[in-house]
Amino acid sequence: MARLLTLLTGAAVLWLLYWLAAGWGLRSGITAWFAAQEARGWQAEFADAGTAGFPARHITRLDNPVLADPATGAAWRADWLTVSSPAIWPGRQTLTFPDSPQRYSYFDRTAVLTAQEMGADLTLAPGTALELSALALTAGPWALNTPGHQAAAADTLILSMTQTDDGSASYRIAAAAQGFAPGAQLRRLVAASGLLPETFERLMLKLEVTFDRPWDRRALESRRPQPRALSVDELDIHWGSLRLRAAGDLTVDTAGVPTGTLALKAENWRSLLTMAEQSGRLSRDARRGAERVLGLLAGLGGNPEDLETQLNIRDGWVALGPLPLGPAPSLVLR
């Protein structure tokens, strides 16, 4: 019995020493990374760092962290951030964010994110590059606000990103939000028409994205990987009587200009035209012209209430079937 107690005591002491050394190493690594970014001209700072979680985990808390890259104009700040990992393996990291506002900036534009119970689980490949194998981010009720406006809000958020193969630059991405409320401008259109509820019943996106390089520590230190190909498996928006679904493939050039085709199906599509007309965004004559053309397209599918057509993106422009909609969005990650 005494021998067993001696062995257990020795093992506990060794584990304590390992935990202390590993915790010091993790904390020192984070501190050194912040110092390295500051030496490169960033604003990279935090007020204090402490480690807890003994005996099973290492939990490092950073108070008042700030990261700002003058080269891209991107910046982030929060009241605190915790970085947690199993004591036996630091390759599985969990980030926990505060319920208080987080500020994201791009040059002179700032957005404020307020999210409850927001956290992200990261699986990192072995090696100093810290290549991302998988990410799972979840949050409770959240809202994204720009000065004077609410850009978006929802009751939940689930986002996952999984590398297709070791070392690959392709990732399967899925996102879903319950009770999603679009921006203030669109909500005003909805309120003016009274045709649709203010929130979506369903918002889901599944796609595979190939970037120009894998996501790793360079995504923070230099530039973000840029999308080069997108395969949209499912985009599903259920909004009152309106339902939009899309799928298709896009390629993206080095300037961020997409090219490709998305198959689009819209159920009860006339409600969109009615909403635009009643809110004053579309004149009666313009609404009649659009309804006539789209009605012809819907009739080809056999059900005039369901519009099945294509979203064609060519030469920097977007068209809904034969109807030009305007310039294509730039797919550049800042």
Would 53 be classed as within a structural domain?
yes
Would 334 be classed as within a structural domain?
no
Q: Which ranges of the chain would DSSP assign to H, the alpha helix?
A: 2-39, 184-193, 218-221, 270-278, 284-300
- Here the tokens at position 118 are 């927001």
Among 57, 88, 119, which residue terminates a domain?
88
Cα(48)–Cα(34) distance, integer angstroms:
12
How much is the pLDDT for 317?
93
Would 185 be classed as within a structural domain?
yes
Cα(260)–Cα(71) distance, integer angstroms:
31
Cα(128)–Cα(67) distance, integer angstroms:
21
Domain count, the chain: 2
Same domain, 68 and 93: no
Domain residues for 31? Answer: 1-88
Same domain, 173 and 31: no
Same domain, 36 and 18: yes
Q: Return the H-helix or E-strand segment holding 121.
A: strand 119-124
Same domain, 76 and 121: no
Contact between 193 and 173 under an 8 Å Cβ cutoff? The reply is no
Contact between 200 and 306 under an 8 Å Cβ cutoff? The reply is no
- Here the tokens at position 8 are 């257990």
Same domain, 71 and 125: no
Same domain, 76 and 128: no
Same domain, 323 and 192: yes
Same domain, 160 and 26: no
Same domain, 72 and 148: no
Distance of CA 194 to the CA centre of its chain: 30
Same domain, 148 and 67: no
Would 332 be classed as within a structural domain?
no
Q: How many residues does the chain have?
A: 334
How much is the pLDDT for 280?
67
Would 94 be classed as within a structural domain?
yes
If 0-12 CB within 10 Å is exposed, 13-18 middle and 19+ buried, where does residue 258 land? buried
What is the model's pTM?
A: 0.88
If 0-12 CB within 10 Å is exposed, 13-18 middle and 19+ buried, where does residue 283 land? exposed
Contact between 268 and 310 under an 8 Å Cβ cutoff? The reply is no
Same domain, 15 and 151: no
Same domain, 140 and 262: yes
- Please report, in tens digits, the pLDDT of each residue of the chain (334 residues total): 677 777 777 877 888 888 888 888 888 888 999 999 999 899 999 999 888 988 889 999 999 999 998 888 889 999 999 999 998 888 899 999 999 999 999 888 899 999 999 999 999 998 888 999 999 999 999 999 988 788 899 999 999 999 999 889 999 999 999 999 887 767 666 665 566 788 898 899 999 999 999 999 999 888 899 999 999 999 999 988 888 999 999 999 999 999 999 999 988 878 777 777 776 667 788 778 878 877 777 766 667 778 888 899 999 999 888 778 789 999 999 8
Among 71, 88, 105, which residue terminates a domain?
88
Would 131 be classed as within a structural domain?
yes
Among 61, 88, 115, which residue terminates a domain?
88
